[in-house]
Amino acid sequence: MKTLKLLSVLILGSMLFTSCVAEVVIEEDVFIEEPTISLYDLLGDYEIWYVDIERTQGNGEIPFLQKAFTVSFRGGTFYANNNLVGIGDNGGGFGLDVGYYDTFRMEVDITHDIDGRYELVVSQLSSNEIELYDRVSNTRYYLIGHQRSTFDYDRVFYDNIHYFLQEYEVWEKVYTSEYGVLNEFDEENYLQFLYYGAGDNFNSSQDAVGIPIDDIYYDYTGYYEVNDIANNFYRKILTLDYDYLGNEYFELSVINDSKIELYHPNSGTVYHFKGRGHLLFKNSTTGKKIQNETKRLKKADFKLRKLVK
């Protein structure tokens, strides 16, 4: 009898335990993260979006982003700083009005005045960083948001100074110091800098100053390169690599948006050159060529030519 009671208790306890376990339901809360800000507001929250061209991914390109240093989304109007001349002042810092845009969910539809319409997928990577993805060309651009009051326009200018040299049709010599040793460069009065990839991408001429730009005959051709000087942000090393004639080296500094100074260490001579024929880079036919490609190839090609020589 005791044995039967004990067995009954065990069976009943087991049933109750099983029943209790079966009735325990653990429900986890599922959180769906809703966007806290619309894409239209996100794009407008930052006055300036810096185009980090070095991070561009893909084999294609979006022309109006490729030639822009910064872009801005202001109440449906699309702005861009395509030029270094006047950057920070042009359009109050926004640059040129180059088109218009609209947003739908996480896509921005940009219609450029010259390059046409592009539908780009936007991904927010951080509070002030976005990715623009073009499904047609399978290309990604990365933009970093800033406000005009804190944006470092000078850094953009000096980091890209090789493009600044291309923003004038020609640079004309307007001053040669009385001090310094006589040298062959004393005779050169014009310098022309072309986009990298245009073959010989600098020309020089000994023609008399003051003649029409179209009448200038270029005596020498070659390649140029601009490099940093350690601990001196505002001065650069300009190398003019003349075909078959060796190299000339200068310390380059910017006097203003249309005048540069070249100091020739080998002779101790200082030259001033003034830009003539400013080029307004608004469209893809006159704008800078494929920036991410040229930047990748520039140093490699320059070093290769050094080895060949």
Q: Residue 61: pLDDT band by 50, 70, 90 thresholds?
A: very high
- The per-residue pLDDT for 182 is 95
Query: Which CATH number is 39-153's, of 2.40.128.280, 2.40.110.10, 3.90.1150.10, 3.40.50.300?
Result: 2.40.128.280
- The per-residue pLDDT for 238 is 96
Is 127 exposed, middle or buried, given 0-12, 13-18 or 19+ CB atoms closer than 10 A?
exposed
Contact 271, 264 (CB under 8 A): yes
- The per-residue pLDDT for 306 is 39
- The per-residue pLDDT for 243 is 80
- The per-residue pLDDT for 36 is 66
The answer, yes or no, to whether residue 277 has pLDDT greater than 50, is: yes
Q: Residue 28: pLDDT band by 50, 70, 90 thresholds?
A: low
**Model pLDDT for residues 184-195, shown as the tens digit of each residue:** 999 999 999 997
- The per-residue pLDDT for 196 is 63
- The per-residue pLDDT for 200 is 53
For the ranges 24-28, 247-251, 283-287, the one whose mean pLDDT is highest: 247-251
User: Domain residues of the chain, as ranges?
Assistant: 39-153, 161-278
Average pLDDT over residues 286-308: 41
Helix (H) or strand (E) holding 66: helix 63-66
Structure token pair of residue 50: 């810096």
Average pLDDT over residues 122-142: 96
Measured between its terminal Cα atoms, the distance across the chain in Å is 110
- The per-residue pLDDT for 294 is 42
Structure token pair of residue 38: 């619309």
**Model pLDDT for residues 31-46, shown as the tens digit of each residue:** 444 456 799 999 999 9
The answer, yes or no, to whether residue 25 has pLDDT greater than 60, is: no
The share of the chain scoring above pLDDT 70, in percent, equals: 78
Predicted structure pTM score: 0.75
**Model pLDDT for residues 211-220, shown as the tens digit of each residue:** 999 999 999 9
- The per-residue pLDDT for 273 is 98
The domains spanning 39-153 and 161-278 adopt the same CATH topology: yes
Q: Residue 245: pLDDT band by 50, 70, 90 thresholds?
A: confident
Architecture of domain 161-278: Beta Barrel (2.40)
Q: Determine the Cα–Cα distance for residues 196 and 193; give it in Å rounded to an integer.
A: 9
Structure token pair of residue 147: 């406000």
- The per-residue pLDDT for 241 is 92
Closest CA to 122 of 177, 49, 68: 49
Average pLDDT over residues 166-189: 96
In degrees and rounded to multiples of 5, residue 260 shows phi and psi of: -125, 160
Average pLDDT over residues 79-89: 95
- The per-residue pLDDT for 90 is 92
The answer, yes or no, to whether residue 1 has pLDDT greater than 60, is: no
Q: Determine the Cα–Cα distance for residues 183 and 181; give it in Å rounded to an integer.
A: 6
How does DSSP assign 240-277, residue by residue? Answer: EEETTTEEEEEEEEEEETTEEEEEETTTTEEEEEEEEE
* Cα dist from 273 to 111, 173, 176, 213, 287, whole Å: 38, 4, 9, 14, 23
Structure token pair of residue 172: 């004309």
Structure token pair of residue 234: 């505002």
* Cα dist from 240 to 59, 141, 265, whole Å: 31, 32, 14
